[in-house]
């Protein structure tokens, strides 16, 4: 599948649960804990 999904939430446990479920289905996840970092997470890693 390899679809990218940004996760933006200030609760680390939410990231852990979302990653556990979505990664097993082949999604690529990028995490951010504050909104302004969410824009960077949505763009994915720097190349």
Does residue 43 surpass a pLDDT of 70?
no
Are 23 and 29 a contacting pair, CB within 8 Å? yes
When computed from its CA atoms, the radius of gyration of the chain, rounded to whole angstroms, is 10
> Could you read off the pLDDT of 14-25 as tens digits, one per residue?
999 999 999 999
Residue 11 banded pLDDT, cuts 50, 70, 90:
very high
- What is the full DSSP assignment across the chain? ---EEEEE-S-HHHHHHHHHHHHHTT-EEEEESSHHHHHHHHH-S--
**pLDDT score for 14:** 94
Mean pLDDT value of segment 17-40? 85
């Amino acid at each position: 599948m390899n679809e990218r999904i940004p996760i933006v939430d200030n609760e680390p446990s939410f990231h852990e649960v979302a990653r556990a479920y979505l990664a097993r289905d082949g999604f690529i996840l990028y995490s951010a804990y504050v909104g302004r970092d969410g824009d960077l997470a949505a763009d994915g890693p720097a190349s």
